[in-house]
Amino acid sequence: MPNIFVGIDVSKDKFDVGIKDERNETVSAGKFYKVNKWGIRKFIANVDDISSELKAKPVFGLEATGIYYLPIYEYLHQVNANVFLLNPLEIKKKDRRMIRKTKTDKLDALFIAESLMLRYLDHHQYKHTGKAAELREYCRIRGRLMGKSVKCKTQASRNLDVLCRGYDRLFTDVFSKSSVAVIKKAIRKTRLFEVSKEDIMDELSNRQTDAWREKKAEAVINVFNGSVLSEDDRDAYITELHMLIQQYDLLQAQIARMDRTIERLVDGLDTRIRTIPGIGPVTCGIIISEIGDISRFKNPQQLVAYAGLDPSIYESGRSKRIGHISKRGSPILREALYHAAFAGVKFNPVLEKYYNRLKGRGKHHKVCVVAVARKLLHIVYSVWKNDRVFYVPENIKKKANTK
């Protein structure tokens, strides 16, 4: 039985539908429906009528952008439809081939239908259902909270640059416990920077020596004394800085709450990925939720490309140049693997050896970390695909034990 390819372009309140057959001929175009239960049911009924008339099986395709596609995608899954999510890069690439600058929702739906027809492959299908779908949404929430947290830090550093330039260079993290305590004590509207060296030393970590704390306190006092901001201008910056500290504390509490939820969901899954040193429960949750079903990747190279950790290649005639990583696919997965690579270098002998080998060749630290993240994804693929516990080869284990 032939297939018909149903392209769905979703916006906030409606979705447009374009249908093509296997010969790339338009079967239906220009129809749109409301994004609600009745609209989706009407859409399914119309597609069933067309399928019966043409004696063909419908294949549905949506562009995986934003969140608007989720209700339709979940509904199609519930009725056991053959539904695929397409990488937005495919649609954009096709858009660029247009001679006339014409872009409408109707054309977008047809582009999606054609892309679905041309790329009707297993590795486009996402199989996030049940607990996997729940885990994915919690990981996405955590990702958004992390983004807001980073923005808070950036804005706070900007205000500190205005109030006392150079302060952010005295602490690795301006929102560390010691740094925030110093800020609260020294940056006040009524008595700006009126704080003694002894008071600053009391707020610094007790894990450091007295000599270190005294030196750090003197550096902080020196930065404070160098401030040139007038009294008329400073109040707004101080007010916002204290608001940003409050927002950051709230975001950290919410991130911790998401971490506990993700860890609970991961504990309920039977996965061997947790046996890989350097991958904690949260990272494990992100990896599982973003990949979905490992069987849709035929080899680790496909998985690496999906994470956007494959190198970009520029080739023309006899010239061939390998550039930076492509950064396609899931940025959440890529970021999680990058951070896991740091832990892997410390706690995973296989990754430690690989990092040191690249470093010995003169590679830059960041280049080595990206390569380790790619190696880690190969390990994830092997452990997950073969359902086996991670183990360190004997020759590497002996070298690690002799250190």
- Of 38, 45, 37, the closest CA to residue 74 belongs to 37
Based on the fold, state whether residues 112 and 220 are members of the same structural domain. no
Contact at 8 Å (CB) between 352 and 345?
Answer: yes
Based on the fold, state whether residues 168 and 105 are members of the same structural domain. no
Based on the fold, state whether residues 220 and 114 are members of the same structural domain. no
Domain count, the chain: 3
List, for residues 148-184, the tens digit of each pLDDT value. Answer: 999 999 999 999 998 999 998 999 888 999 999 999 9
For residue 354, being part of any structural domain is answered with yes
Based on the fold, state whether residues 12 and 120 are members of the same structural domain. yes
Distance, CA of 151 to CA of 156 (rounded, Å): 9
Q: Which of 274-278, 361-365, 398-402 has the lowest mean pLDDT?
A: 398-402
Q: Which of 92, 126, 160 is the last residue of a domain?
A: 126
* Residue 248 one-letter amino acid: Y
- Of 343, 351, 346, the closest CA to residue 375 belongs to 351
Report pLDDT for 219: 94
Based on the fold, state whether residues 44 and 106 are members of the same structural domain. yes
Based on the fold, state whether residues 114 and 147 are members of the same structural domain. no
Based on the fold, state whether residues 229 and 345 are members of the same structural domain. no
For residue 91, being part of any structural domain is answered with yes
Contact at 8 Å (CB) between 106 and 11?
Answer: no
Domain encompassing residue 97 = 3-126
Based on the fold, state whether residues 318 and 374 are members of the same structural domain. yes
Distance, CA of 340 to CA of 290 (rounded, Å): 15
Q: 266 burial class (0-12, 13-18, 19+ CB within 10 angstroms)? A: buried
Q: Which of 82, 97, 126 is the last residue of a domain?
A: 126
Q: 240 burial class (0-12, 13-18, 19+ CB within 10 angstroms)? A: middle
Based on the fold, state whether residues 197 and 229 are members of the same structural domain. yes
Report pLDDT for 215: 94
Based on the fold, state whether residues 279 and 230 are members of the same structural domain. no
Q: Which of 97, 126, 155 is the last residue of a domain?
A: 126
Q: Which of 62-76, 116-130, 244-258 has the lowest mean pLDDT?
A: 116-130
Distance, CA of 334 to CA of 368 (rounded, Å): 15
List, for residues 27-46, the tens digit of each pLDDT value. Answer: 998 899 998 889 999 999 99
pTM above 0.75, yes or no: no
Q: Residue range 345-357: average pLDDT? A: 92
Based on the fold, state whether residues 249 and 287 are members of the same structural domain. no
For residue 131, being part of any structural domain is answered with no
303 strand-pairing partners: none
For residue 113, being part of any structural domain is answered with yes
Helical H segments across 16-102, by residue range: 37-54, 70-78, 88-95
For residue 316, being part of any structural domain is answered with yes
| CATH number, domain containing residue 116 | 3.30.420.40
